[in-house]
Structure formats: C-alpha cells, structure tokens
Amino acid sequence: MTEDDSTIICRCEDITLGEIKQAVARGYATVDEIKHYLRAGMGPCQGRTCGHLVAQVVARETGRPVAEVWPMRARPPYHLVPFSTILAETGGTVAFPKVGD
C-alpha cells in the first residue's frame, strides 16, 4: 500500500506526512529539528498527539531508532492554564506593580 503524503501528522499546526518527509530529506534528522523547522509539536497539545508519530516517521526515514531521534524536552505548564487560574492559585490579586518594582 502506498502511503498518502497529505495525511496530517500534527493536527494542531496542520503539518503533513509529506512535509515531514521533505524536512528529513533536507537533513533535519531529529524531532527537535522538525519542531523548530516545521512547528510540528508546538501547538496547543504540545506534541502529545503528534510527538510519537513524528518520531516514528523521522526514525523510519533516517533508519535510526526512535530513542535516538526523540530527545524532546517537555515544557511546562504541561496543561493549558489561564493566567487567572495562576493568580487564584497563588492567592494573588491583580495588583498593579509599583513604579520602581
């Protein structure tokens, strides 16, 4: 079966299988590089949906094990969180910082 290059791999950023294969062909050979080059994994889900898919494609295209191409660093806050929740969490009121602070 031939695979469809228009398949969306990263849904948040709308990145296709074909784009990832092209990026690998261009020499971008790790998930981190694909993230910086294509934004795959930078969307609201932070790569939770696409990370392992991108890793598999990159590993397959480069002939390397997944562990070698995917040392991606998870970035806080890990879940989408509104500023208002952060403020409530810390008991902070919305105080205007004083000049000179």
Partner 1 sequence: MPGKTYDAVIVGAGVIGTAVGYYLTKRGIRDVLILDKGYVSCGATGRCGAGVRQQWGLEMNCRLAKMSVDMFAGLSDELGEDIEFEQSGYLVLAYDDDTVELYRKNLKLQNSLGIPARLVTPAEAREIVPVLNIEGLVAATHCQTDGHANPFKTNFAYAHAAVREGCELHTFETVTAIETDVKGVRAVATDKGRYETRTVVNCAGGHAAEVGKLAGLKLDCFPERHQILVTEPYERLFDPMVISFVHHLYCQQVVHGAFIMGLGMPEAPGFNDDSGWEFIEAMARAVTSLLPILAGVRVIRQWAGLYTKTPDAQPILGEHPDLPGFYNAVGFSGHGFMIAPATASLTAEAIACGCTPELIAPLDAKRFERGDLVLEPNVV
Which residues contact partner 1 (rule: CB under 8 A)?
27-28, 30, 32-33, 36-37, 39, 42-44, 46, 75-77, 80-84, 86-87, 90, 92, 94-97, 99-101
Nearer to partner 1, 3 or 86 (CB): 86
DSSP letters along 18-79, please? Answer: HHHHHHHHTT--SHHHHHHHH-TT-STTTTTTTHHHHHHHHHHHHT--HHHH--PPP-TTSS
Q: Which residues bind ligand FES (CB under 6 A)?
A: 10-13, 40-43, 45-47, 49-50
